[in-house]
Amino acid sequence: MDRVPILKISDILLVSIQGDLDDHAVLTLQEDLADRVVATGALGVIIDITAVEIVDSFVGRMLSTIAGMARMLDAETIVVGMRPAVAITLVELGLSLGGLRTALDLEKGIALLSRPGPEPAVTDDMSPVGQ
Amino acid sequence: MSQPPRVVAPAEELTIASNDEVVIVRQKVRATAIELGFSLVDQTKVVTAASELARNTLVHAGGGHARIEVLDNGHRRGLRLTFADNGPGIPDLQLALTDGWSSGGGLGLGLSGSRRLVDEFELDSEPGRGTVVTVTKWTR
Ligand SMILES: Nc1ncnc2c1ncn2[C@@H]1O[C@H](COP(=O)(O)OP(=O)(O)O)[C@@H](O)[C@H]1O
Ligand SMILES: [Mg+2]
């Protein structure tokens, strides 16, 4: 099985899973991503599963593990493009994937990552006067 | 009225001895589900169940076989999948079917979760003899 390519775009690592990965390829991707997060100091990981037809407990666990691992390395993970049928099936399978951030598509995923962190609560003089 | 289901297509027998063959099981199950006219959601559910059960055959029993059959009950058509192995068997079926219980390494959702994804689910296992899991999903 070929390795899943990992692209780096500024501070983001982008993985687009194509086709049906066997379990070995899934674990390889998990390890490759951990290595790349450390090597690049990436701040975000986006995993695009638009082309993925099923997410079973093995793939689901890989997604959670990557997110947990990336968080410890100070990177945020967003899973984008989950098909509705996959989401419905995951719920029935019993996999909540709690703690995993998702976005509908790549563009929204990138927007989530580039959103600045929480602002200080105090407003300053430059703020527009809101209602 | 439904009749006792009969098999309407020759059964397809697949070996499960490697990760590649788990992928092949998923692909054949999907192709058959599409042929039967399953909705996209039902295709996804039955392929996901097949993936879980085929992995169990490989990981927990060291390999076995999958059989894919098309059924007709005079009213609807069905997809019946049988996963059989001569592995160690399951000592406590109730426990094995508990959400989140795994004898090691897994999330423990393969049996309990795939039971929810299909219409009929049968688990037959005996320590020392092996395990047979049979699931059926019917068209709507
Ligand atoms: N074919 C099998 N042969 C032997 N034991 C099995 C088999 N399938 C399932 N089991 C047992 O049932 C348990 C629960 O299975 P499952 O729900 O798929 O969880 P997991 O595979 O994540 O452990 C397994 O941990 C294993 O002990
Ligand atoms: Mg399992």
- From residue B37, how far is each of A8, A83, B10, B41 by CA, in Å? 41, 19, 18, 11
How many domains does chain A divide into?
Answer: 1
Structural domain including B17 reads 8-138
pLDDT value of residue A28: 96
Tokens 């439904």 found at: B2
Tens-place pLDDT, residues B69-88: 999 999 999 999 999 999 99
CA B29 to CA B25: how far, in whole Å?
Answer: 6
- Is B2 within a domain? no
Bridge partners, A8 (sequence order): A13
Structural domain including A16 reads 6-116
Domain with residue A12: its CATH number is 3.30.750.24
CA A126 to CA B72: how far, in whole Å?
Answer: 72
How many domains does chain B divide into?
Answer: 1
Ligand 1 centroid distance, CA of B110 (Å): 7
Whole-model pTM: value is 0.93
- Is B85 within a domain? yes
For residue A22, the chain B residue with the least C-alpha distance is B19
- Is A127 within a domain? no
pLDDT at position A56 over 60: yes
- Is B16 within a domain? yes
| Contacts with B26 from chain A: Cβ below 8 Å | 20, 54
How sure is the predictor about A129, in pLDDT bands with cuts at 50, 70 and 90?
very low
What is the position in ligand 1's atom list of the atom closest to the CA of B101?
Answer: 14
- Is B1 within a domain? no
- Is B46 within a domain? yes
Domain with residue B132: its CATH number is 3.30.565.10
